[in-house]
Chain A
Amino acid sequence: MSELHSTKEKAEQIIRQYADMIYRIAFHNLKNPADTEDIFQEVCLSLLTKNAPLYDENHIKHWLIRVTINKCRSFHKSVWQSRTESLSSHTELIAPEASMVMDELNSLPTHYRNVIYLYYYEEYTIPEIAEILGKSKNTISSQLQRARKKLKKILEEGEQL
């Protein structure tokens, strides 16, 4: 078996394992299913680059999170400007209450959404998130706290609807 073939098989295995995570992070960042799909494809292909830690089980997940967030940040200008499709076109497929929570979450700044996702869904600790995102623990703590405050306010308002 050639080295490239082996690499492809490993990349395929990793994609199947982390596909939903990549998609969810991109979705949290871009609020747009079409852009999310583009970034998903790019992240998958990046697994074939030389720097991807394919055989490092401890780091591949963190690497994918960082790559996905970084690719969302550098999304090309023309694409950034041209697509304005609403997030609700995706979340309307799920329960109305859940859709409302996602809409509320997506009213937060992007970096807050990433921290919320990693802390509450992936259940990473603050030091782990700090390492993944390349921020200090204090910064992550602060972002988490501020996101929680903003979200709490939003959710309280939402409950009155």
Chain B
Amino acid sequence: MKKNIYTQTVNKITVPDELLNSAIENIRNANNSADKVININKPKTKSKIFRLTGSVAAVLAVIIAFGAVFFPGTSGNSSFVLKANAAELSSETYIKVGNLEQTSNGANFSVNDGIIEINNMSGQFNLDFQCIGDNIETITYETCFDCGYFVVNTDDVGFIKYSAADKSYGYSGSSYSVLAKSCVFDYSNQPASRFDKPVPEDGVDASIPLNVLFHVKDTEHQYTANINDFGDYSDGYNMFGDYNEGQDAVDKYIESILADYLNTNAENFKINVTATFADGTTQTQTLQFRCEYDGEDTFLTAKIV
């Protein structure tokens, strides 16, 4: 059984004795001021760069302000580009910007007399964005559609600020993340890496989950289906057991409803991305989303409008 192989394998991954002894020795040798000794945060090169950039920017701001007064029309030419998975977004074609990570398990559905009735639906797309440009101070996201929320992890507070939390999104009263209609990424507090990747030195890693929440019964379509159409359906989690084709079919069906709803309301399925630069100027790009399915995964694509 594969699960046994997995657990047996992990059992064999044990900390080497010399490493354990070394760690314990480090604990024992920690000096008498715990607060000082345990300063294990690695230096943030980004912050140093920003401090230098900030100083230069301050001088430039004075020069620009001077220029704006005496040579009107010469300032405010900052700009940024949006990249998703290393590809630059354009107004020409839709490109992939994020996979759907939360699907049918985010749907509240019931099976009555063999009929699947979808009640509520939620989906979460992980937007993989980087905003590249010189002298960016902040990046602001704003959703243009009613059911869209950014998921701000409270671990990121400092780097990402939200103007108003629409709801807490945690476990049993804990507030690990919030859903917000808008949020702001602060370049000066950007960590050295996010999501296992280094952040860009000439911009902001503005990756964030985008959550959509809606009541299916409030939509124009009443999505129902016969459970018998999905083969052998059963619930539960059994990673290494027999794969349940029926459950997979239900998953795909629910994902198709999510995509259909989002694309039906495509007119407002947008977000605004605004960069504020060190000279105080701003630039806004509006992204139009489309929800697609490639036979394996459901994902979002976007282009600039």
- Hey, which bits of chain A sit against chain B, CB under 8 A? 4, 7-8, 11-12, 15-16, 19-20, 22-24, 27, 37, 40-42, 44-50, 70, 72-77, 80-81, 90-91, 93-95, 97-99, 101-102, 105, 110, 116-117, 119-121, 126-127, 130-131, 134-139, 141-149, 151-152, 155
Interface of A, helix, strand, loop or mixed by DSSP: helix
- Assess whether B5 is in contact with A145, with CB atoms less than 8 Å apart: no
- Hey, which bits of chain B sit against chain A, CB under 8 A? 2-3, 5-10, 12-16, 19-20, 22-24, 26-28, 30, 32, 34-35, 37-38, 40, 42, 45, 101-106, 122, 124, 153-155, 169-172, 174, 176-177, 191-199, 237-240, 243, 248, 251
- Assess whether B23 is in contact with A24, with CB atoms less than 8 Å apart: no
- Assess whether B106 is in contact with A41, with CB atoms less than 8 Å apart: no
- Minimum CB–CB distance for A73 against chain B, Å: 6
Interface of B, helix, strand, loop or mixed by DSSP: mixed
A148 proximity list for chain B (CB < 8 A)? 237-240
Once the chains are docked, how many angstroms separate the CA of A145 from the CA of B105?
9
Once the chains are docked, how many angstroms separate the CA of A70 from the CA of B155?
9
Among B13, B27, B30, B153, point to the contact of A24 (Cβ < 8 A): B13
Once the chains are docked, how many angstroms separate the CA of A42 from the CA of B26?
10
Once the chains are docked, how many angstroms separate the CA of A22 from the CA of B19?
12
Q: Given A94-B12, A98-B9, A149-B243, does the pair A120, B3 have CB atoms closer than 8 Å?
A: yes
Q: Given A77-B193, A127-B172, A136-B170, does the pair A98, B14 have CB atoms closer than 8 Å?
A: no
B26 proximity list for chain A (CB < 8 A)? 41, 44-45
